[in-house]
Amino acid sequence: MLRALLKFFEKDGEVEALSLTDPAIKLLAEKMIPNGGSKQRVSFIRKVRSLEKVGYIKRVKSHYSLSVRGYAVLTEEEVWALTIPTPKHWDAKWRLVLFDIPAKKGKQRNALRARLKELGLVLYQNSVWVYPYPLADVVRAVANFYNISDCVLFAVAEELGGEKHLKQQFNLK
């Protein structure tokens, strides 16, 4: 829903504040749901108000604009949409992601772990993840988002212990 609203708010790559008094929200709903019935429009208006209530958009006078929290959600959506490209042929090198994140950044550490797993990396050892294809740019973007890039290191290896099992996991020859 937030993404759909922002596409409507966006103009030339910038999110602009729109005058969305209650009648304007109804017009916005009509434009975004042109063939929808009144139930869909009412649902849309409730969603706009809900976005304001949870802090994703904010009302400034008679305008709505994206809040700091709204930008953070968008950025997080983009981070979770990242994927690691898979080349046609494996270069027989393993990519390792190593991290040592302080306890006070436990939430960021857990988020990084979850994202690495989601990206398809395999836990090799505590705080060491392995993947067969180049991944530094994607993982660096994730680490930057969570403000832990200074705690994350990368390595490339031609051989690893347990390589046979890893090859099976990644369907490599």
* Single-letter amino acid, residue 126: N
Helix ranges, 33-105 (H): 38-54, 68-81
Architecture of the structural domain at 2-78: Orthogonal Bundle (1.10)
% of the chain at pLDDT higher than 70: 75
Average pLDDT of every residue of the chain: 81
pLDDT at residue 12, rounded to an integer: 44
Burial-class residue 116 by CB neighbours within 10 Å (0-12, 13-18, 19+).
buried
Indicate the pLDDT class of residue 6, thresholds 50, 70 and 90: low
**Do 2 and 73 meet the contact criterion of CB atoms below 8 Å apart?**
yes
Neighbours of 36 (CB within 10 A): 14
What one-letter code names the amino acid at 165? H
Please report, for the chain, the start and end positions of each structural domain, with discontinuous segments joined by +: 2-78, 83-169
Burial of residue 56 (number of CB atoms within 10 Å: 0-12, 13-18, 19+): buried
Mean predicted confidence (pLDDT) in 28-40: 66
CATH for the 83-169 domain, from 3.30.70.240, 3.40.50.1820, 3.40.50.300, 3.40.50.720:
3.30.70.240
Please tell me the pTM assigned to this model. 0.64
Q: Give me the pLDDT at residue 170, please.
A: 95
Amino acid at 73: V
Q: The tokens of 81 are what?
A: 């949409």
Tokens encoding 117: 């797993």
Do 72 and 84 touch, CB atoms closer than 8 A? no
Asked whether the beta carbons of 45 and 26 are under 8 A apart, the reply is yes
